[in-house]
Structures are given as structure tokens and as C-alpha cells.
A and B are shown apart, each in its own frame.
Chain A
Amino acid sequence: MKPISEMSAGELAAYVASHLKGRGIEVVLSGGACVTIWSEGRYVSADVDLIGGGMTPRLSLRKALAEIGFVEQGRQFVHQDARFFVDCPSGPVALGREAPKEIRTMQFATGSLRLLSPTDCVKDRLLAWYHWQDRQSLEQAALVAERNPVDLDELGEWSKREGKAGAFEEIKGRLSPSR
């Protein structure tokens, strides 16, 4: 297998997720590394957010990750050779008040990875735009939508359920294929 120092964000995520699965811990990739994958590397995140179901004790996670050389530093897990940090935020995986509509599975040479679909990845980024006006997140959402089919109707309905129908109307042009 590829040395850990040469793994891309996706490969590292798949490697770690597969190891955790072998220890009975199922995780889903969310956050910036998901954007890295769906934008085909046009945005590169420094960390890999792997979220579990919320029932895994931190101690079990710490022990399982230590087996492959990751050490907890603050809230992140660091490997001396890896180019990315691994973060395991508290679960569940959520997009505002809702669970993801669809979890995709992607195969890498390093393992199998469960991750948000492009539409859910866009939702994840839009939340930061809606609540904190984080322009980088809006740009990332646009990068994902540029390279993948996303369900604009679903994004509109979801935004409405989040109380952000007006905000969605303002930015939906950034996500449409005809822009």
C-alpha cells in the first residue's frame, strides 16, 4: 500500500475509515475533505473530518487510531507522516436539523470510504454561509456544484426547512449548471 505520507485526503480518509470499520466503528466523511473529493482537488482541506454515529466513546476511537499511528493532539488526531489531520467531531452526521439524505461509498486503493453525496456536501457548506456568512464555504459549495450534478430543488426545500429560503434565492445562481 502507498506510504501514508503520499496519501491524498481521500486515500487517507479511506485508509482510516476502513481501519475503524474493522474495529466496529462506522464513520462518514464530511466537511472540507468531502469538498476536496467532489471538487476533484480544486479545494484542498488540511483536515479529514470523520464523523461517527455519536455512540463511540472517545477512548475507543483513541485506541483504534493509535494502532495505525495517530496520536490525539487537542481535538485532532495527528500522524507524524500524514499530510492531513484527522478530526472526529461528535456525531451524528447532520445537515442542520436533518440527517443526510444519501451516503455514498467510494473505493480507493487504501480502502472504502463512506461520504456525503455532492448535494449533501453542498448543504454542509451552505450552513456555514447561512449562519456565519463564511464566503469560503459558499465558494466551496459552488466548486462542488460545478463538478457534480446537485439537486437544486432539494437544496431549495432544505433551505426553506432551515429557515433560509431567502438566502438560498440569493445564491442559487452560484450552484446552477447554467452559470
Chain B
Amino acid sequence: MLEGILGSTSAERVLVFLRSRGEGYPREMARFFATSLRPIQNQLEHLEAAGVLWSRLVGRTRLYAFNPRYPFLRELEALLDKALSFYPESDRGALLMNRRRPRRAGKPHEAD
């Protein structure tokens, strides 16, 4: 939907994912979009270098989020919100619905 102006589908995926969930890590995004990891990682690195995102290490995982210091953040978020409103309900729901509550160690994963 925005790949025409962003220049890449992966860039759009990364941005809508982070807009929907607040933060995320590369493997989680690649799994969500059923795509390979490398293009997602490339976009995350590119957007971080451009100051749009920032990242921090949590254990051995690099977590990405929007850089609150990015001067066009509010405008970018408005654009992403608009794009998301055109996404199919099922995609929007899947992006927004993810488990954030804690899961006891050792508990099976199928019952989300």
C-alpha cells in the first residue's frame, strides 16, 4: 500500500508492524509476514541509520521501536494509521492482537 513511496514492501511491513505493536524484533516480524529474515533486518538497519527507529538489546534479541526523537514521527504515524485503516480487517486484527501477558515457564504454547 505504501511501498510506492517507501520504495520497498519490507519497509512498509516493518513500519506497520511497529506502529501496531509498539516494538518488535526481526525474527518476530519475518515470521508474522511469512517472509525471509534478511530483507526485514536490512530495512530495520536502514531505518535505524536514518533515525526513524531506535533499538536496544534485550538479552540476545535486538528490539526495535520508533525513535521518539525523529522529527517527522507524528506525521509518519498519521500516514501509517491511514494506511492501516485500508488494510483488511483480518490483517489489522492480526497485527494488533498479540499476546503480551506473561506465560509461565514450561507452559505449552498452543493455547494463546
Contact of A131 among B49, B69, B71 (CB under 8 A): B69
Per the 8 Å Cβ criterion, residues 49-107 of A in contact with B are 75, 89-90, 92, 94, 96-99
A127 CB within 8 Å of chain B: yes
Query: Which residues of A are found within 8 Å of B51, using beta-carbon distances?
Result: 89-90
User: A90 to B49, Cβ gap below 8 A?
Assistant: yes
Least CB distance from B14 to A in Å reads: 17
By a beta-carbon cutoff of 8 Å, the part of chain B in contact with chain A is 49-51, 68-71, 73-74
Q: A108-137: contact bitstring with B at CB < 8 Å (1 yes, 0 no)?
A: 000000000000000000011001000000
Would you call A131 and B74 a contact (CB within 8 A)? Answer: no
Interface size on A, residues (CB 8 A): 12
Contact B50 A96 (CB under 8 A): no
A96 and B49 contacting across the interface, CB-CB below 8 Å:
no
Is B69's CB under 8 angstroms from A94's CB?
Answer: yes
Distance (Å) between the CB of A111 and the closest chain B CB? 26
Q: What are 21 inter-chain pairs, A to B, with CB distance below 8 A?
A: A75-B49, A89-B51, A90-B49, A90-B50, A90-B51, A92-B71, A94-B69, A94-B70, A94-B71, A96-B69, A96-B71, A97-B71, A97-B73, A97-B74, A98-B71, A99-B71, A127-B68, A127-B69, A128-B69, A131-B68, A131-B69
In the assembled complex, which residues on chain B have CB atoms less than 8 Å from the CB atom of A131? 68-69
- Residues of A32-48 contacting chain B, CB below 8 A: none
User: Which residue of the partner chain A has the closest CB to B45?
Assistant: A75
